[in-house]
Structure 1
Amino acid sequence: MLKKLFQSLRSPLRRAKQHPRSTPEVVTSHQHPLRRAHISRYAVSIVERLQNAGYQAYLVGGCVRDLLLDIEPKDFDVATSATPEQVRAEFRNARVIGRRFKLVHVHFGREIIEVATFRANHPVSEEDEDSNQSSRNESGRILRDNVYGSLEDDAQRRDFTINALYFDVTGERILDYARGMHDIRNRQVRLIGDPEKRYLEDPVRMLRAVRFAAKLDFEIESHSAEPIPRLAKMLRDIPSARLFDEVLKLFLSGYAEHVFELLLEYDLFEPLFPASAAALKQSPEYTYNLISQALINTDQRIEDGKPVTPAFLFAALLWPALPARVIKLQDRGMPPIPAMQEAAHELIAEQCQRIAVPKRFTIPIREIWDMQERLPRRSGKRADLLLENPRFRAGYDFLLLRESAGEKTNGLGDWWTDYQDCTDSERRAMIRELAANPDETGSAPRKRRRGGNRKRGATPSPAQD
């Protein structure tokens, strides 16, 4: 009892049981290209200020890795021996965030430098655990991550070797505790420690392995890759809100097509998108082509600096599972548009059990899908009304995406392309021509057939409005 009281007075965070410390490989400034000039001046100032206050402080993780690979870092992270409260005491512009993993954000206008206290591996024996709170569940998954440790502890606790590199801005040295420099040179993603145990601690690490492999064009090291297909089902236990954030990182960072290939390779797609995975088995060519083309288009938009939205992306990822449900409802006597709306509602509700897509995205997803049933209906004034619909552009682009995947729509995409470019008199002539061919004004074909008849060769670009 006195021991616990003493520990609570020393710190609000528990200190991990000590273990033998490793000795880092010290990579001097003559052996690597990193220089202070490459670093955000705010990050440098934080490191120096913490060091001057008597704490250890280093730049760590992705920023060091990316600079070594000649990639511009998205942000700069600092690891320090100072606790979150001690960091906040040093910086008036600092704010402590998080519960599962306490961090400090130091604000410099729009730039935020993230500062994390050195962490350690979690205690596993009963004598090291609090009586009322466990840091892990029965499968080994980490529930809380606020255990203090040393620099050496922190390095061993990190997930991948390429993220366990510490840059000392004062001496321009890199401290390498896990042979991360070796793996960067060999372009491979390797877990620190036993891969299966590390995945069980946090199954999201499997997605992170895929993301880094896609982003950096690395291979996942064989021992780190082997358990992934066996443990992929563990993703079903991850909170759906967290998976939404992880999926955005996977698909909206500019390398979504490669990510998709790796998710399929390691059996990670099904735990994320079960209905789409089933559609991939039933209609492999169409489903694969549609999703791949949507991801290629998304990657291109990001490369071109154009805005992207998850709504169009999720609409494409889920669409292959929708038509069969619509047909089933129509076979029961439900009209086409209500059948589309009901099937969309059911599919999205099921998907949100796995990935919590916010309502601000599910509504436009349903509107994009709904447009697919309305776009073939062009007689009278319907075409002009559809053209004025705020979701027309997204629906039209989605139609072109379907056609690019091999879906036959009787030239519907070409028709709408021409209609947008025509004068009013030319549009009236197009409508009259449709009236002479009433079969072309009905709903979209209920069954998909291989091969398209698009005349234009341009690849559609997904609308993001």
Structure 2
Amino acid sequence: MPRGEHGISREDISDNALKVLYRLNNAGFESYLVGGCVRDLMLGIIPKDFDVVTNATPEQIKGLFKNCRLIGRRFRLAHIVFGRDIIEVATFRGHHSDTDNQKLGKASEHGQLLRDNVFGSIEEDAERRDFTFNAMYYNVADFTVTDFANGREAIQKGEVALIGDPEVRFREDPVRMLRAVRFAVKLNMVIEAQTAAPIKSLSGLLNNIPPARLFEETLKLFLSGQGKDTFLKLREYGLLDALFPQLTPLIKDDSSKELEFILRVLANTDDRINNNQRVTPAFLYAALLWYPLEEHAQKVQTEAGLNNHDAFNIAAGDVIHRQTQRIMIPKRFSTVIRDIWILQQRLPRRFGRRAFQMLSHPKFRAGYDFLLVRGQVEGGDLLELADWWTEFQSADNGQQKRMLSALRKKEGGKGKPRRRRAPKAKGSNDA
């Protein structure tokens, strides 16, 4: 496609990506923009990342750029670093022969590619791409776009379609099932029928993906501004069980409080992201695992005869441990998840200085926001508690004291009684 047909302008391309393309070309190599950035430019969307592909090897790329670092074992890539901006450069991928796969151990027994550093031509590279609209290559040398797999037609139809046999391609990399869902939601498309057909039956292959990689994928799924719709689409295709096995039994019913709670949290998260407000994965994971925690805590308390506090803490550790076997949650987030959960136990305790101490807790806001959504979903005493905290945190000191006094009267003087010193026995002798 010449420039007049695809409408991509260099003005819409990152200056750093252009620098990489020009330097590779000037050194005698072929280089192209490829994948999502070309697709998004053709859709009129501003790309977040610009990926480059070339016939230069990773070592040759490193020799051209002092600001280059080579990463990856499964996919050997070059990252050209411009401050916070990173341009990812890959070498054209080639095809593996079955003999090579067996000899070098590059594919698992399930057909999943474990190593992928066989280099080839641009035609082979295009065949190795996952979706048809990701096999379009923009050449800055003559301003053309080469479309190897009818990607423009897929865009016009609004379809997410795999290149090649869907079952084979999903087995090569099961994460492609998650990507298919993410692209369908992000681009407001549908998953083409042949591509969609094997997803449910192959969803269990996600159990073979390293937990650390799945954590990165879930961030893309739920923290891109369309988390609610993405969650529902994952549920539709039976992909949630491989990601959150403790949660899925609780959200089978469309009208369940568990599903309503998660969808509310995801909708709130989407609003914050789309309004350029900060979000943390910890809050989302705390929500996804809250009802599995409640259920497990009740079970521990009943079976072990523990008090509520001890059962809750043991259950929290169990639930996080089980989840990290599927999706690795870094400690900096799992610590915050626990804080949010523990605050759900502490926020009902408001007498004495506790309410004021709670306001100074570093995670109070996250705990309060979490309580607020729980109250909106469950109503009753929980909603009343959330409303009380809404008013208390914005009241002046005098009003706060009056609220605590009114609360004590309402509760009939409940709360921890003041300790009184026992009267001395008659005739006692103080040492």
Distance between the aligned counterparts of 1:223 and 1:134, measured in 2? Answer: 30
More divergent stretch after superposition (384-393 vs 187-196): 384-393
Q: 2:240 aligned to 252, 259, 269, which one?
A: 269
Letter in 1 for 2:78: V
| C-alpha contact (below 8 Å) 1:164/1:177 kept by paired residues | yes
Equivalent pairs counted in the alignment come to 413
Task: Tell me the secondary structure at the aligned position of residue 6 of structure 2.
Answer: coil
Cα offset, 1:245, TM superposition? 0.8
Distance (Å, rounded) in 2 between the aligned partners of 1:148 and 1:419: 63
Q: CA deviation at 1:401?
A: 1.1
Aligned twin of 2:295 = 324
Residue of 7, 16, 29 corresponding to 1:55 = 29
1:181 equivalent in structure 2:
152
Separation in structure 1 between the aligned mates of residue 288 and residue 269 of structure 2, nearest angstrom: 12
Instruction: Say if 2:68 is the partner of 1:68.
Output: no
> Unmatched 5+ residue regions in structure 1?
1-26, 443-465
* Corresponding residue of 2:141: 170
Most deviating of 261-270 and 328-337: 328-337
1:344 & 1:196 partners in 2: Cα distance? 38
One-letter amino acid matched to 2:336: P
CA deviation map 1:310-355 (0-9, x unaligned): 1001001111212122222333542222222111111111111111
Offset of residue 200 of structure 1: 0.5
Q: Which TM-score applies when normalising by structure 1?
A: 0.86
Q: Distance in 1 between matches of 2:309 and 2:358?
A: 15
Shift of 1:407: 4.2
Amino acid at match of 2:172: E
Structure 2: which 5+ residue stretches go unaligned? Answer: 416-431
Per-residue CA shift, 1:97-156, capped at 9, x if unaligned? 1111111111223322111100022221x2x4574x211011110000101110000000
- Give the secondary-structure state (helix, strand or coil) at the position aligned to 1:107: strand
- TM (normalized to structure 2)? 0.92
Contact 1:162 1:184 in 2 (8 A): yes
Q: Distance in 2 between matches of 1:402 and 1:48?
A: 54
- Could you give the per-residue CA deviations for residues 49-90 of structure 1, whole angstroms, max 9, x where no partner exists? 222222111110111011111111111111101111111112
265 and 427 in structure 1: CA distance in 2 versus 1, 3 angstrom threshold: same
SS at match of 2:362: coil
Any conservation in 2 of the 1:210–1:262 contact (CA below 8 Å)? yes
**Equivalent in the alignment of 1:190:** 161
Report if aligned partners of 2:372, 2:383 keep a CA contact under 8 Å in 1.
no
2:309 aligned partner: 337
Aligned partners of 1:104 and 1:62: how far apart in 2?
18
Higher relative contact order (CA 8 A, sep 6+): 1
Match of 1:9 in 2: none
Q: Which residue does the alignment assign to 1:373?
A: 345
Cα distance in 1 for residues equivalent to 2:190 and 2:90: 28
Larger mean Cα displacement after TM superposition, 42-51 or 329-338: 329-338
Structure 1 segments (4+ residues) deviating >6 Å? 439-442
Contact 1:278–1:321, Cα closer than 8 Å, also in 2: no
Are the equivalent residues in 2 in contact too, given 1:340–1:373 (CA < 8 A)?
A: no
* Greater displacement, 303-312 / 383-392: 383-392
Which string of whole-angstrom CA distances, capped at 9 and with x for unpartnered residues, describes residues 424-450 of structure 1? 2222222222222338978xxxxxxxx
Supply the distance in 2 between the matched residues of 1:103 and 1:183 (Cα, whole angstroms). Answer: 28
Identity %: 49
Taking the aligned partners of 1:184 and 1:214, their CA distance within structure 2 comes to 14
Root mean square deviation of aligned Cα = 1.7
Say which is worse superposed, 137-146 or 101-110, in terms of deviation: 101-110
For residues 117 and 288 of structure 2, the distance between their equivalents in structure 1, rounded to whole angstroms, comes to 36
Aligned to 1:18: none
Structure 2 distance, partners of 1:38, 1:422, is 49
